[in-house]
Amino acid sequence: MKGLDHLEHLDKQLVDELAQVARETVRDELRDQTRRRRRTATLYAASGAVALYAGAALALAVGLALAIGLPGWAAALITAAILGVAAYALREAARPSEPRPAPDRAVDLAAGHDPGAPPAGGTGAVAGTAGRTVGAAHPPVPPMPPAPPSGATRPERPGETDPGTGHRA
């Protein structure tokens, strides 16, 4: 049994040494990755700063070119309008496209309920949310009635027009 105790001590020592080597390897790898990422981030930041100055120089050139034939204030106003339109176009291009409604939202929309719409008569809008309500509670949505079996016709209502023909039924 003493031989097994000695092997157990060797196993524990081997596991400890392997864990230490693994920790050092991971630490070195993370340090190298961090160094590379820091350099990349610095280069991106410098690139953005230079692009900002290039854009300012371009705006100045446009303004000066317009100022040849226009008063200075009009040239500056036109340049500002051009930059505003460009900023708006870039913002719209950066927005993600409208996601398709999830199945439960599709059912709500089919029933005529839009959970994203502001509640009727409620304000609850917050500046900068572009019409969306923030934190407003929505009333519970009633369940949809079951669909009629295939081949069944719906009852006609008096005075209702037939959408296929445009005539009264």
Inter-CA distances, 103 with 46, 55, 100, 107, 168, Å:
45, 45, 9, 6, 35
Average pLDDT over residues 91-116: 65
Q: pLDDT band at 3, cuts 50/70/90?
A: low
Inter-CA distances, 142 with 61, 108, 111, 147, Å:
61, 9, 9, 15
Q: Mind listing the pLDDT tens digit for each residue in 34-75?
A: 988 888 888 889 898 999 999 899 999 999 999 999 898 899
Query: What does the alpha-carbon distance between residue 14 and residue 35 come to, in Å, rounded to a whole number?
Result: 32
Q: Is the dihedral of CA 22, 26, 31, 36 positive or negative?
A: positive
* pTM reported for the whole predicted model: 0.38
